[in-house]
Every structure is written in C-alpha cells, then in structure tokens.
Amino acid sequence: MKILVLAWEFPPRIIGGISRHVAELYPELVKLNHQVCLITVAIENAPHQEIVEGIDVHRISVTATQDFFAWIDEMNQKMGSYVASLIDDQKYSFDLVHAHDWLVADAAIAIMQKLQIPLVATIHATEFGRNNGIHTDANRHIHFKESILTSAAQRVIVCSKYMRDEVERAFKCPDTKVDVIYNGLNLARATCLHRQDFDPITWRAKYAESDQKIIYYVGRITYEKGIFILLNAAPKILTAMEGKAKFVIIGLGDAHAIMLKRQAWNLGIDHKVTFTGFMSDSDLGKFQMIADCAVFPSLYEPFGIVALESFAANMPIVVSNTGGLPEVVQDQITGVVAKVNDPDSLAEGILQILQNPNYARQLVKAARLDLEKRFCWQAIALQTEAVYQKTHFLRLS
C-alpha cells in the first residue's frame, strides 16, 4: 500500500510526542512492505528530501512568524501544493492519507478530496481535554480543526480507551469508526541510553547527598502535568523519610516553572527541589540510572509515553489515575496508581516505593515484561496496517 503521511514534526524537529511516534511507527510499516511518503516541516541542517529508515521524507519550508495560526495555515497550504506537484509530475500515487493531529487537518482533507482517497486521522490529544473545556477563541479554533478532521476521516486512531471516549464526547464521533492503538517504545534505542560509561557516584552527587532518595518528574512544565501536586506531596514524603529525599523537576516551561519555584519556597522545601530545565537524552539516561522513583501526577494525559520510558529505564513509577495512564500502568503490578489531584495519595504511593526496595524491584521487573509484550512497535504496526486495510476499501466516490 502507498501511504501518504502528514505530520508537522519529525526528527530532528522534535516539539512533542508526535515526532517520536511517527519516527518509530513507519519504519515498521515499511518492513511490512508498505511505501511511506512523509510530508513534514523543514529544519535547519536537515535535507529537504531523504530516505530515513525506509521512509521517503520530504521537508517543506514555512515562513517564521509570531502568529502561530497563520504559520499553520501556510504549512497546510504548502503541504497541499507540494503533494499536488508530486502527483502532477506523475512521480507518486497514494492509496490513503494519514494525518497526525489537527495541525495538518486542512491539507489532509484537501488531499483526500483532490485524490479521492481515504483519510485516516490519529488524534494524539484534544484541546477539550487539555483545557478541561473550550474557553477561548484559540481553544475554539483548534477544537474546530479537530472536529472537521475527525468528521472527514474514514477511520480515527486514538492511543487509549480513555481517548476514544473523549473523542466521542468532544466531537460526537461515533465509536464505530474509532480504533484504539496504544503508543509504543523502541526498546533497543531506549536501552542504549542506559548503557553509558560514566561515574554514577559523581553524577548522583550533582543532585543529592549519598543518603538521599531522588524523586523526579520529566516532561513539559505545564499546569496539566500536575507538578504542583508533587510539590504539595513533598512535605509528607520528607517527614516520613526524615528529610532524606530530593525532588528533581526536568523539562522546559519557564513561565510555569517560576510559579512552581514560588510554590516550593512558600512550602519551605525550595532547598529540596531542583529544576534542571532541558536535559539531553544522554544525560537523562544517566540520571535515570541514579534516581529512585519517577512520578507523573498529571491532571490530563491521553496516554503517557513517559511511563513506557520509565519502564525501559527500569525505574519504579507513580502515576495519577487520569486519562490513559491507568491503562498503561497496572496498579500494584507495573507501578503505583494514585488518585488524581490528591497529594496525600501521591505521597503514599511514592513512599510505598521508597520504603520497600523489594516491592520496587518487583514492579520494575513486571513493567519491563509488559513493555516488551504490549507496547512494541512491531505489534502496533500490525494493528495500524489492519486499520489501513479496512480503510483502503472505502474508496471515495
């Protein structure tokens, strides 16, 4: 099958989770003898056209602007024009188009209509879910684009059962055309990050004393990630651990980070909390080898790829029971699932891991096995192929 993929990010352009998802999924579909042509956005020092693990990648230039929606409009126009030129030159033909999220909705729908081929849409998250409703003009604009994409698509792929319900609720999208396919993780690549030659004692000393436990969060520093709940849980944890704990917050989000630093100061725990900002994959791999517990106290999380990354790092984790996280992390089997927006529940879950090393090791072992069984990209590619095959027969009239 000849598959046209539209995604606004692809390595080395990495903004969120779409980039890694696309980069991991489509090489596996190529191995299944599908032809994959990806249209994405150009980035400095990356070729405008190249073959990446079998994917025919085309990067288009989009004019830089402070107006994000104008930038998106131009990107969609250029994607549509570029695909039209490929068709007109008779260099390419496609059996279906696969759009990743609302950002490429206009181009995907235009291509579907022009070529009369089916459209598959993957909805990675919704504006409704991220903001617990639609409140602003920007929210309404994005929600509208998501709505027309899910309406136009013949099949909609989501990453969890939670997201299936959210798409149905937010867009009145019938569940009969929604397929749940979990995200995955390239275990070989992830494992390489934890086989580095370094001095763990010296590295650990950068973050904590030798007798202190390291509890960390990694990801975007935004309200929906619930980091403030972890800080509210910290005093209870510090009391139980007799002060022998440090909290490390890894990621970008300057405006919200300032609020969190003020919160830590007001709680009297600022000396126990470190904000690292951005951390490279290599350094994160080292850090995970010397830390003791990962915590993801999200208020909204469609799936939770960070949980899989923790599984691969052999790191015991505590997550909140929101979104897709309880589908990824099996409570008391592969991790601890705490009540959402509940500092006491979160603290109890973290203390379970810190105070019971054997229990923590059991969680890590079970999580690794689950990662290999349920979240490998080979299996996910087969599930995606099945969606393509049933969609392929829905040729447009």
Indicate which CATH number applies to the domain containing 240: 3.40.50.2000
> By three-state DSSP, how is residue 246 classified?
strand
Q: What gap in Å lies between CA 373 and CA 375, rounded to an integer?
A: 6
List pLDDT tens digits, range 90-124. 779 999 999 999 999 999 999 999 999 999 999 99
pLDDT > 80? residue 146:
yes
Q: What gap in Å lies between CA 381 and CA 4, rounded to an integer?
A: 15
- Whether 178 maps to a domain, the answer reads yes
Same domain, residue pair 211 and 349: yes
User: How much of the chain is in helix, strand and coil states, percent to nearest 5?
Assistant: 50, 15, 35
Question: Using 50, 70 and 90 to split pLDDT, how confident is the model at 381?
Answer: very high
Higher pLDDT, 74 or 395: 74
Same domain, residue pair 354 and 219: yes
Enter the pTM of the model: 0.83
- Whether 66 maps to a domain, the answer reads yes
Same domain, residue pair 104 and 200: no
Question: Using 50, 70 and 90 to split pLDDT, how confident is the model at 144?
Answer: very high
Q: What is the pLDDT of residue 195?
A: 65
Supply the mean pLDDT for the chain.
91
Same domain, residue pair 19 and 76: yes
Mean pLDDT, to the nearest integer, of 251-264? 89
Same domain, residue pair 136 and 17: yes
- Cβ atoms < 10 Å from Cβ of 78: 18
pLDDT > 80? residue 359:
yes
Structural domain boundaries, residue 290: 187-374
Q: What gap in Å lies between CA 312 and CA 89, rounded to an integer?
A: 45
Q: How many domains does the chain have?
A: 2
pLDDT > 60? residue 23:
yes
Q: What is the pLDDT of residue 357?
A: 95
Mean pLDDT, to the nearest integer, of 191-204? 75
Same domain, residue pair 232 and 258: yes
Q: What is the pLDDT of residue 185?
A: 86
| Structure token pair of residue 17 | 């989770």
Question: Using 50, 70 and 90 to split pLDDT, how confident is the model at 252?
Answer: confident
Same domain, residue pair 279 and 380: no
Mean pLDDT, to the nearest integer, of 193-205? 78
Mean pLDDT, to the nearest integer, of 321-334? 92
| Structure token pair of residue 374 | 């349920």
Q: What is the pLDDT of residue 136?
A: 94
Same domain, residue pair 63 and 104: yes
Same domain, residue pair 115 and 202: no
Same domain, residue pair 18 and 78: yes
Question: Using 50, 70 and 90 to split pLDDT, how confident is the model at 229?
Answer: very high
Mean pLDDT, to the nearest integer, of 347-359? 96
Q: What is the pLDDT of residue 394?
A: 58
- Whether 397 maps to a domain, the answer reads no
Higher pLDDT, 302 or 159: 159
Which amino acid does the sequence have at 183? N
Percent of residues, the chain, with pLDDT higher than 70: 97
> By three-state DSSP, how is residue 51 classified?
strand
Same domain, residue pair 161 and 200: no
Same domain, residue pair 121 and 140: yes
Nearest residue to 42 via CA among 16, 17, 79: 79
Q: What is the pLDDT of residue 190?
A: 67
pLDDT > 50? residue 219:
yes
Helices (H), 339-393: 343-354, 357-374, 377-392
